[in-house]
Structure 1
Amino acid sequence: MLAVPVGTGTARLRRNSLPEPLIESKHTRMLQRFRDDVVFPLRHVGGSSHLAGRLRCLPAITICWLTLGMTCKVHAQASDAEDDNATNAAAPAICLPDGRGYLNARLSGALQTELVWGNEGMECTGAVRPDGGLRIRFSHPDSASGGRLVLLFGVAGLREGQSAKALPVNVTVIREGQGEFYSTQGDNKCTLDEVAQEPIAGIPHRSRSYRISARGFCTGPAREVNGDGVVLLSRFDYVGRVDFDTEEQTEEEVLAASRP
């Protein structure tokens, strides 16, 4: 038996109960320091125990560390969300993933301009009309008005995947933000010289989406719905897309919904 003075008393240890020496390393030094500072000191000062006082501090220390960790995690998640939103907001509109979309058109009358829209910055969609045929839509920022300029081409009698020539087409021009709507209001003023459809492969199966290309001209103007202005598309050609799985409004329904 060995007698070791501890504080004001004496602790007796069996010979076989002596602690084994720790191997010196960075981690063992940290463990030793933690043990000496927090858990194992048995010194008494004025009859009070440092051990009891420090043990009482452990819950508060633990709560502080947990709060700090949660705060850092929330801050990191918020930063990631802000970065994702910034990336999405900065992403430009594109017409076709392969980069082949475009629209060229010459407009005269109330709109005197030559449109040369490329794939980037232009939105293009297409769908089946409820009354049959297709409606192809192109839109692009309008630098003159600060809004968007929209062109709609309504093609009656064109079936899925079909190519054709000399097809009548209804044309609508919309200046979003200006309240200006122009329409031929019929398919006897504009003609598609040629129109062709090429399937766009879907993943994992082929979808009912097609790349549609066309060129044509108008012999009569599109008249303003709520005014006296006219717009003539003397020529146009485009490559866009059409999805036969979707159905949208006719040009007449679009104009009716746009009237005040």
Structure 2
Amino acid sequence: MSLGDDPAIVRLGALPWGSRRLRRLGEAICAGEAPPADCPRYADVMLWYDDLAAAVQSVLRALDWTSLLHDRPPPELTSRAKTVDTLREKLVRKPDHPLGSIQDVAGVRFECEMTLEEQDVVVQAITEGFDHPPTVVHDLRTHPVHGYRAVHVWLRLPQGRVEIQVRTHIQSAWANAYEAAADVLGRGIRYGEPARHDAPWVEGLVHGLQQISLRRGADLERLRQEHATRVLDLGMDDPYRAAVVSAADRADLVARQARIAADEEEFLDALHDVEDLMRKAHP
């Protein structure tokens, strides 16, 4: 059975508005006008998408991820529907995309401490669980967007569209810091637009944050993945093979893991400091 057939999702029924009515509502939102009388209210549409996102989140939360993520901390799952301001921003930026075709009006985030390969496995489990083809997967690790790296799964359900963002702990920390910076410097920096502050240091800050993700963040994830691959190659997951691993190899694994953990902690602490600073500047 597809995860889309879960009662939490099915109980919502099919999306009650057609594409034409949603398009007209989107045009009204874009223009900052009241919607026509025959259009749904914005509050009703957002409540629907909020319920849809929450339903998908609950379905994912109920799954047992330990078989894929093993001893990792449980994934953090959150959901939301777009606010009217962020939706208007997207509609203005993409005038050829009517409201009904906006993929991320309903959004779910799956964030977890994991390797890149484990991230791939999670994405595959979600995609196949909802009986969707691989074409719904959008890998923003190989094609980052202004520093943003993650993997998105675009669901198309009878109840509406949902975007699931699957992020490692490193990708998540950077995204949160950059989002906080966008609240202060202008949300346009998320799309490559100039910051709304013309101080000479602002452009350098935005560029620096993007490079931190593209270089240091990606490098840390590569090192974690290489270490995990080395552990498997030595057979440390097999008690019989692990018993014959040399003391030197064991010591090397321990040392590498300690260095990776220390480097990641330093990276995450720095990003959390940036996020806190920006939150204070934009309460």
Give the number of the structure whose alpha-carbon radius of gyration is greater. 1
TM-score by length of 1: 0.23
Normalised to the residue count of structure 2, the TM-score between the two structures is 0.22
Q: Say which structure is richer in helix.
A: 2
- Structure with the bigger percentage of strand: 1
